Every structure is written in C-alpha cells, then in structure tokens.
A and B are shown apart, each in its own frame.
Chain A
Amino acid sequence: MNGIVRLYPRWWRERYGGELDALLAEHPPSFRDYADLLRGALDAHLQTASRPAFTTTLTRGGRLMKALAFALVLVLAIGLAVRSHLTAGRATGPTAAAHLTAALHRTALPFGTTVTASPGQPVFCSPGTHPALTVMPSVMPLNGGLHADYGPSIFVRINGRMTELQRCDGVR
C-alpha cells in the first residue's frame, strides 16, 4: 500500500484504501497530488472525529484530540516538505542558485530573491556551507563600496544568519 494511504484512518483505508492505492499505481502522484492527499487524510480524520456512530473505545473528545494531533503532525510535515523543496538545489554544486532571504546592508531584498551565478560577476563563497554565490549589481556588500568594487569578502544574510563570504573567483 502506498505510504500516504496509511495516513488515512483505518475505517477509511478498509473501505477506500485498495482502490485509491490502485489509482495511485496507475497514475503516479505529483507533488500537488501529495498535498491534496494529505489534505484528504486530514479531512478523513476530522470526519472520524465528527462521526457520532463511529464505534471505538475512544470518546468523542479523544477522537477530536487525535484528529487535532494528526493535523499538527501534518502541518509540520508539510512545512518540512516545503522547506526541503525550497532549499533543494542549493548545495548541488558551485553554480547552483543561492537564495537570499533577507536584507543586505540597507538594501532590502524580497523573501526568496534568487541570485543566479552568471559569467562576468564577482563570485563569493562560504567555505563548505553554501554553493558559490554570484553577487549581482542589486546586491550591496555590507562593508561598503560599489557593486563593481567589492573587497575580498562581503557579509550577507543567508537564512537569517549573517555569513561572511570570501571572494573565490581568483580576482583580488
């Protein structure tokens, strides 16, 4: 049985699990389908909590708590999945795109600004932790200077953390 089908409550799996599993085998789910299935699983748990005739040893309050706990786990799982999706590709090599998530100097950058490596631009690297970061003209170094006149290092904020990047394109 597809792992995501196991997230549905037992009564639901016993009734619909086989056919949903067959559908997923025939039509492999996309990222969007997984999100839809997670939402469906949460919905099924909430249905369980609101079913007055549902026979179980759990009380109605207990079933509601179980559904809420499942919702909390689901939200955390979706958050982790989205975070992992957004950060995928950052560490795949020196030419990978880097995402700046906050301001550099006084120049505010919108969340998720992507700075892509391109020829002819100075390249700064953070040893071991980030792929090479090509600094575009819109990105100002914290230690002053014009974009065409970078020093040997700049400070940038990556994922909320101030990070010093050393110039690593051989130009001094």
Chain B
Amino acid sequence: MTLGLADMGRFSEPALLVLMSLAGGDKHGYAIMEEVERDHGIRLGPGTLYGALSRLERRRWIEALAADERRRPYRLTPQGAQVLEEQLRSLQRFVTQGMARLSLT
C-alpha cells in the first residue's frame, strides 16, 4: 500500500506546505517557516515543522543535505515531487468541481 499525505494525520497540511516550499528550491527549517508564513499566511510552529520534516524524511520524500554550520538544508526528492504533484492534481479536481457547483467557471 502506498502511503499518502493523508496518512500523516495532523501533519498532512504542514507536510504539504513543506513539500511546496522545497519545490521552489533547497531550504533549511527556518527558511521554510518564513516562506510558508509569507506566501500562505500560515505560521508553522517549530515543533510542527520538525514533526513534518522527520516524517517526510522517513518516507524519503525529502532528503537532508550537508549541514551549513548548524542549519541543515533539505531537498525535495523525485518521490516527494511525485507525491506533491498527485496532491496538487487532486486539489485541482476539488477546486474545479467546487467552482462548477457554484457556477463560477
């Protein structure tokens, strides 16, 4: 059985935000936190962020790069990019259906 983002429970949304952030380039934890808050207005707490990072890394959807001093950047893996793509396509279908029901398309 393939594990998806939904299997991450309360970490599903933070994990999606992290994958989305890393799709734009390699980043360390603090940079991810800042970008998510700036682009989406969502404040990821440090405990939530690292809970999501540890889960994503365990599933090999992201990988840690060599540490820059004490800060360690992360990179999206091909498997992670595929999961993100599937999730975005699913959201796209959801949005399309919702817009159609509201006669907005």
Residue pair B70, A16 in contact (C-beta under 8 Å) = no
A20 with B45, Cβ < 8 A, contacts A12-B54, A43-B51, A44-B51 known: no
Q: How far is the CA of A2 from the CA of B71 in the complex (A)?
A: 15
Residue pair B30, A23 in contact (C-beta under 8 Å) = yes
A20 with B50, Cβ < 8 A, contacts A33-B45, A37-B45 known: yes
Residue pair B47, A39 in contact (C-beta under 8 Å) = yes
List CB contacts (< 8 Å) of B26-80 with chain A: 28-30, 33, 45-48, 50-51, 53-54, 67, 69-72
Residue pair B33, A36 in contact (C-beta under 8 Å) = no
Q: Closest CB-CB distance, B30 to chain A, in whole Å? A: 5
The number of chain B residues with a CB under 8 A from chain A is 17
Interface of B is mostly: helix
The number of chain A residues with a CB under 8 A from chain B is 25
A22 with B69, Cβ < 8 A, contacts A36-B46, A37-B47, A40-B51 known: yes
Chain B residues closer than 8 Å to A36, beta-carbon distance: 45-48
Instruction: Return the contact of B46 from the options A15, A23, A44 (Cβ within 8 A).
Output: A23
Interface of A is mostly: helix
Residue pair B70, A33 in contact (C-beta under 8 Å) = no
Residue pair A22, B47 in contact (C-beta under 8 Å) = no
Q: How far is the CA of A18 from the CA of B29 in the complex (A)?
A: 12
A24 with B46, Cβ < 8 A, contacts A12-B54, A19-B29, A43-B51 known: yes
Chain A residues near B (Cβ < 8 Å): 12, 15-16, 18-24, 26-27, 29, 32-33, 35-41, 43-44, 47
Given contact pairs A35-B45, A41-B47, enumerate 8 new A-B contacts (beta carbons under 8 Å).
A16-B54, A18-B67, A21-B70, A22-B69, A33-B46, A36-B45, A39-B47, A43-B51
